[in-house]
Amino acid sequence: MNYEVILYDVTDGLATITMNRPATMNALTAQMRAELKHAFERAAEEARATVLTGAGNAFCAGQDLSDQGNTTDMELERALRDEYNPLVMTITNSPVPTMAVVNGPAAGAGANLALACDVVIATESAYILQAFSRIGLVPDAGGTWTMPRQIGLARAMGAALFADKISAKQAMDWGMIWEAVPDDEFEATWKARAATLAAGPTKSYLGIKTAIRASFDNNIQEQLELESKMQGMAGRTRDFREGVLAFLQKRKAKFQGR
């Protein structure tokens, strides 16, 4: 696929996917959704970690309401079933860690694409906005699933009903995102975090993602069994052997990942 509205780069094991419509605050079109899905699938094959960010001063303003054919009830449902939902599942099921680098406002479906990633790091001047009720809609792109699990029922309900802006710092304090970073430190911080993931034990990360996401549906016995299975998988990797050897030799581990 030739990318027209995103940028894609892989360097040192890190795939960086940049939504590239800065004039529209990177609002989502059908073309962008298709390109994002393809890029995440490609990154799962080519990289050891994936970053999603936006060009310019915004992360993503959500659905581009001027995109042709996205305003009827049937088209809204079709776009979700055929485009948004597969994209969210591609992000969620990525075998490598995914990190949203929220460099500015993240609204509507744009906010929820960020929340679908494993880790969210935002600059302090950014905000998250569940804008749907402002135009008579319901949160989508996984927002009604991620928010209650991240911040609890009361806050998720308030965020959706009132459609208030949630500052990056408030989102961090609530547990919606991992980290809110001062603007002047943001680029160095997210790049260091991303480099850590790209140089880390890939199979261990997959086990972590699998176990933590499954915990909401498992009872304690089922979760213990899953932990045993994931640990057995991790224990058979070269990265585990390297990690133990590096610990004993008092040096930094050099994981090979794939």
Predicted confidence at residue 70, as pLDDT, reads 53
Compute the distance between CA of residue 95 and CA of residue 49 in angstroms, rounded to an integer. Answer: 9
Query: pLDDT tens across 111-138, in order?
Result: 999 999 999 999 999 999 999 999 999 9
Q: Are 184 and 217 in contact (CB under 8 A)?
A: no
Predicted confidence at residue 182, as pLDDT, reads 97
Determine the average pLDDT of the residues in 166-181.
97
Tell me how crowded residue 191 is: count the other CB atoms within 10 A of its CB. Answer: 14
Predicted confidence at residue 157, as pLDDT, reads 97
Predicted confidence at residue 91, as pLDDT, reads 98
Give Dmax (Cα) for the chain. 63
Please, what are the domains in the chain? 6-198 (3.90.226.10), 202-248 (1.10.12)
Percentage above 90 pLDDT, the chain: 92
Predicted confidence at residue 256, as pLDDT, reads 85
152-176 per-residue burial string, b: 16 or more CB within 10 A, e: under 16:
eeebbeebbeebeebbbbbbbebeb
Query: pLDDT tens across 33-55, in order?
Result: 999 999 999 999 999 999 999 99
Compute the distance between CA of residue 122 and CA of residue 105 in angstroms, rounded to an integer. Answer: 9
Q: Which of 88, 129, 84 is nearest to 105 (CA)?
A: 129
Query: pLDDT tens across 44-91, in order?
Result: 999 999 999 999 999 999 999 887 555 556 688 898 999 999 999 999
Predicted confidence at residue 258, as pLDDT, reads 63
1 — pLDDT class (breaks 50, 70, 90):
confident
Checking if the pLDDT of 97 tops 70, the result is: yes
Contacts of 44 (CB under 8 A, 6+ apart): 50, 94, 95, 96
Query: pLDDT tens across 148-173, in order?
Result: 999 999 999 999 999 999 999 999 99
Compute the distance between CA of residue 19 and CA of residue 56 in angstroms, rounded to an integer. Answer: 9
Q: Where are the alpha helices (DSSP H) in the chain?
A: 30-46, 73-79, 85-92, 108-116, 143-151, 153-162, 168-174, 186-198, 202-214, 220-235, 238-248
Query: pLDDT tens across 192-240, in order?
Result: 999 999 999 999 999 999 999 999 999 999 999 999 999 999 999 999 9
Place of tokens 């057995």: 232
